Structures are given as structure tokens and as C-alpha cells.
Amino acid sequence: MAEQPLDDIDQKIVQTLLDDARTPIADLSRQVNLSRNAVRHRIEKLEKANVIAGYHAKLGTGSPNQAPMIAMMMVYRKDRMRGQDVTKYIADIPEVKSCYIMSGEYDLILKVESVSHDRIHQIWENISSLSGVDNIHTTFTLSTIKP
């Protein structure tokens, strides 16, 4: 069975949930001009089709002591085409918010978010110690213009 493209209503539902995963179904139904049951049904279909794969908490700025730290890690693997042990390990780290397999200079680019510099350092040490990793360059963000 071929995948059906998302219609305008599904796209609006998905975008609203990307902006705020806690948007109540009642609010979604008003935005797309459908009943709550129709919106709930559409969300269930989007989840079953793996268009929506989960709902996540996002660290906020909160108090200065709890502001999230964001680091970008550029990972060089020893064997660019193999090294699946590295990607499997990275997939299980909750602080890794995104992982991209790249062409060009870097093999992987990770976005890591944590409330602790020490935790980011620990993640760096753990990834660095994997046998498939050749090197890692890490940078910390100073500010965010567009998340």
C-alpha cells in the first residue's frame, strides 16, 4: 500500500504539535475546524503511520542554574560506511536530540542538550571511547536565534 501524502489538515495538526506537543485536542479541533473525535482519529492515524513518533519534553530556560546547555558534536568514525555500533550507541542517549549522517568532512553531527556541562562531558567521553570513533570536535552554543 502506497503512503498517502498529508493533506492540509494533517499538516496543520502536525505543525501545531511540533510547536507545542501539549496542545489540547479541543484547541486543535478549533484550528482545523473539525470535531474533537475527527482530530483524535487523525492523530491516531498519523501515529500508526509513524508520521508522529512521539511527544517530547523540551528543556526551557527556567532559572539561570537550570538553563539547557547545547553542544554540537562532530564525530569522525574510523570506517565511514560501517561503524553502526556508534550510531546504535548514540541512538540510546536521551540527551542527543538529533543525529545526522553527513557527507563531507564530518561523519556524524549530534545536537546534545543537557542541564549540566559535566553530563555533556560524560557523553563526549563515552562516545570518544567507542572503538569505531576516530575523533570528535565539540562546540557549545552561545545563544539560539531559531530552534
Q: What is the pLDDT of residues 78-117, one digit of tens each?
A: 877 666 788 899 999 989 999 999 988 889 999 999 888 8
Among 143, 3, 118, 124, residue whose Cα is nearest residue 73: 124
Ramachandran region of residue 33, left (φ > 0), alpha (ψ -120 to 50) or beta? left
Note whether residue 2 is domain-resident.
Answer: no
Domain limits for position 17: 8-48
Q: What's the average model confidence in pLDDT over 125-145?
A: 91
pTM exceeding the 0.75 threshold for the entire prediction = no
Write the CA distances from 101 to 16, 28, 83, 117, integer angstroms.
27, 34, 11, 25
- Asked if residue 83 and residue 32 are part of one domain, the reply reads no
Let me know if residue 53 belongs to a domain.
no
- What's the total number of domains in the chain? 2
Per-residue pLDDT reduced to its tens digit, 27-83: 999 999 999 999 999 999 999 998 998 887 766 656 555 667 899 999 998 877 666
Can you give the length of the chain in residues?
147
The average pLDDT across 131-141 equals 92
Collapse the DSSP code of 4 into the 3-class scheme (helix H, G, I; strand E, B; otherwise coil) and give the result: coil
pLDDT band at 144 (very low <50, low <70, confident <90, very high): confident
φ/ψ of residue 60, rounded to 5: -105, 180
Residue 80 within a domain: yes
Strands (E) in 4-141, as ranges, are 69-77, 96-101, 108-114, 133-140
Q: Is residue 125 part of a domain?
A: yes
Q: What is the pLDDT of residue 1?
A: 41
- The owner of cell 531559531 is 146
